[in-house]
Amino acid sequence: MKKRSVVCGISSFLPENTLTNFDLEKIVDTSDEWITTRTGIKTRHVVGDSQYVHDISVKSAQTTLERAQITPEMIDCVLVATTTSEKRCPSSAARVQDMIGAKNAFAFDIQAACSGFIYGLAIADSFIKSETCKNILLIGADTLTLFTDWTDRSTCILFGDGAGSCIVRAPTEGDDRGIVTTKLYSDGSKHDLITIENSEKNCFRGYMTMRGQAVFKCGIENMYQAMVDVLEQTNMTFDDIDWIVPHQANKRIFDSMHKIKGIPIEKVILTIDHHANTSSASIPLALDEAINSGKVRQGDTVMLTALGAGIVWSAAIVKL
Ligand code: ACO
């Protein structure tokens, strides 16, 4: 039996404040009908004043530690996948390490946009397999609403804030649960499809800009190919997958993938209607909700896939 890095203690945290499509109708020239039919989004959570990536990360991490039954001292690495840290440096991971008292851990951020959580899984898996670490706290957290141009109706309707986390730990004898495989990709020639400019010299925050239709097409082609690649890599088919938990960018991406590529849509878990696009938090948020509702169970095999700015994309298969 292959030894795998075990994923446990999956949790998430959403900020209290919400912003509905009807609220957005009062800010920009849009409608609930347009947003719902074009994206599947109805509402989203947004951070409050002085609430940053490290704050929401800590909230999620505390639940993860309880669920995984490990103490902060047992963590030897803290990884935070994010593109929206409060500061360019120090990292959000270092802040989290201090705030939760993980005094034996090293810590760093992963900047892989919406693919950050899967990139984090791959990095954590390597640290576990090389026996560098035994217990890794992996967090995906983003506050894209702080980098949103609220006068741009083509982007400001898309994003929400949130955090999700898990422990990736060393395997125990006789346990076949864990990370089956991961695959990461990048195509920097498409770097201008999604950007947040660095405007710090001008003393203002850069805003998210996106060429939506081009990203939409990449979303279908690249995430589909990534899923096919990890299935081939493991001699599996979609029949062996219980659930597909994708990055939640637009409901229509998966409707189209079903129509064009024939992916089993009934296995796709979508929470975009009430989370919107929370970037690196979207997969653990969806996974946590699906586990809490009883839909996804221990022992299930889940396919994860994501695509974001870079562009960078990825897929992973995990037996929970
Ligand atoms: N309300 C009303 N009308 C709007 C709005 C709005 N909020 N936004 C755009 N429109 C209008 C446009 O002006 C345009 O009008 P026109 O035809 O008169 O010129 C029309 O709607 C169509 O605009 P499109 O941009 O073609 O709309 P589209 O159907 O492509 O939807 C969207 C835009 C939702 C951004 C879509 O392209 C998309 O989801 N792209 C993928 C996003 C993605 O996958 N992101 C993942 C990576 S990025 C990340 O996650 C951080």
Question: Tens of pLDDT along 4-61?
Answer: 999 999 999 999 999 999 999 999 999 999 999 999 999 999 999 899 999 999 999 9
**175 falls in which pLDDT band (50, 70, 90)?**
confident
**Rounded to the nearest 10 degrees, what angle do helices 116-129 and 282-292 cross at?**
80
Q: What are the φ and ψ backbone dihedral angles of 129, each rounded to 5 degrees?
A: -65, -30
Pocket residue to mutate for ligand 1, from 143, 154, 192, most atoms within 8 A of Cβ? 154
Compute the distance from residue 153 Cα to the ligand 1 centre, in Å.
8
Residue 247 is a catalytic residue: yes
**200 falls in which pLDDT band (50, 70, 90)?**
low
Whether residue 223 is found in the same domain as residue 126: no
Whether residue 253 is found in the same domain as residue 272: yes
Whether residue 120 is found in the same domain as residue 102: yes
Would residue 130 count as lying in a domain?
yes
Whether residue 155 is found in the same domain as residue 202: no
Atom of ligand 1 nearest to the CA of 250: 39
pLDDT at position 245 over 90: yes
Residue 89 is a catalytic residue: no
Question: d(Cα 20, Cα 177) in Å, to the nearest integer?
Answer: 39
> Nearest 10 degrees: CA dihedral of 75, 286, 272, 214?
70
pLDDT at position 202 over 70: no
Cα distances from 271 to residues 75, 134, 276, 278, 282, in angstroms, run 30, 31, 8, 11, 8
Would residue 190 count as lying in a domain?
yes
> How large a percentage of the chain has pLDDT more than 70?
98
Per-residue confidence (pLDDT) for residue 212, from 0 to 100: 93
Question: d(Cα 309, Cα 291) in Å, to the nearest integer?
Answer: 28
Per-residue confidence (pLDDT) for residue 320, from 0 to 100: 97
End-of-domain residue from the set 169, 187, 220? 169
End-of-domain residue from the set 118, 147, 169? 169
Whether residue 15 is found in the same domain as residue 155: yes
Whether residue 150 is found in the same domain as residue 182: no
**168 falls in which pLDDT band (50, 70, 90)?**
very high
Mean pLDDT of the chain: 96
Q: What are the φ and ψ backbone dihedral angles of 96, each rounded to 5 degrees?
A: -65, -45
The enclosing domain of 81 has a CATH number of: 3.40.47.10
Whether residue 154 is found in the same domain as residue 182: no
Whether residue 165 is found in the same domain as residue 197: no
The residue whose CA is least distant from atom 12 of ligand 1 is 154
Per-residue confidence (pLDDT) for residue 203, from 0 to 100: 55
Atom of ligand 1 nearest to the CA of 215: 41
Would residue 207 count as lying in a domain?
yes
Would residue 1 count as lying in a domain?
no
Name the domain count of the chain.
2
User: Pairing relation of β-strands 77-81 and 106-110?
Assistant: parallel
Neighbour count for residue 90 (Cβ, 10 Å): 16
Q: Where are the beta strands (DSSP E) in 188-283?
A: 194-196, 208-210, 243-246
**3 falls in which pLDDT band (50, 70, 90)?**
confident
Atom of ligand 1 nearest to the CA of 31: 1
Residues 266-295: pLDDT tens digits?
999 999 999 999 999 999 999 999 999 999
Would residue 80 count as lying in a domain?
yes
Per-residue confidence (pLDDT) for residue 204, from 0 to 100: 61
**221 falls in which pLDDT band (50, 70, 90)?**
very high
Whether residue 113 is found in the same domain as residue 17: yes
Whether residue 192 is found in the same domain as residue 163: no
Would residue 311 count as lying in a domain?
yes
Catalytic residue among 114, 133, 156, 166: 114
Average pLDDT, integer, range 229-255: 97
Residues 68-83: pLDDT tens digits?
999 999 999 999 999 9
Cα distances from 200 to residues 87, 173, 197, 206, 207, in angstroms, run 11, 50, 9, 8, 11
Compute the distance from residue 36 Cα to the ligand 1 centre, in Å.
12
Whether residue 35 is found in the same domain as residue 141: yes
Radius of gyration of the chain from Cα atoms?
A: 18
Range of the domain at 85: 6-169
Q: Where are the beta strands (DSSP E) in the chain?
A: 6-13, 18-20, 43-45, 77-81, 106-110, 135-143, 161-169, 178-186, 194-196, 208-210, 243-246, 301-308, 312-319
The residue whose CA is least distant from atom 39 of ligand 1 is 250
Overall residue count recorded for the chain in this entry = 320
Whether residue 53 is found in the same domain as residue 202: no
Would residue 95 count as lying in a domain?
yes
Q: Which residues line ligand 1 (CB under 6 A)?
A: 30, 34-35, 38-39, 113-114, 153-154, 157, 194, 210, 212-213, 215-216, 219, 249-250, 253, 277, 279, 307-308
User: Pairing relation of β-strands 312-319 and 178-186?
Assistant: antiparallel
pLDDT at position 63 over 80: yes
Tell me, yes or no, if the pTM score tops 0.85. yes
- Of 265, 220, 271, the C-alpha closest to 248 is 271
Cα distances from 22 to residues 19, 33, 123, 252, 317, in angstroms, run 8, 10, 40, 21, 37
Per-residue confidence (pLDDT) for residue 1, from 0 to 100: 61
Would residue 108 count as lying in a domain?
yes
Average pLDDT, integer, range 113-134: 97
Unique residue bearing structure tokens 């296995």: 267
Average pLDDT, integer, range 94-99: 98
End-of-domain residue from the set 147, 169, 191? 169
Question: d(Cα 247, Cα 56) in Å, to the nearest integer?
Answer: 19
Residue 277 is a catalytic residue: yes
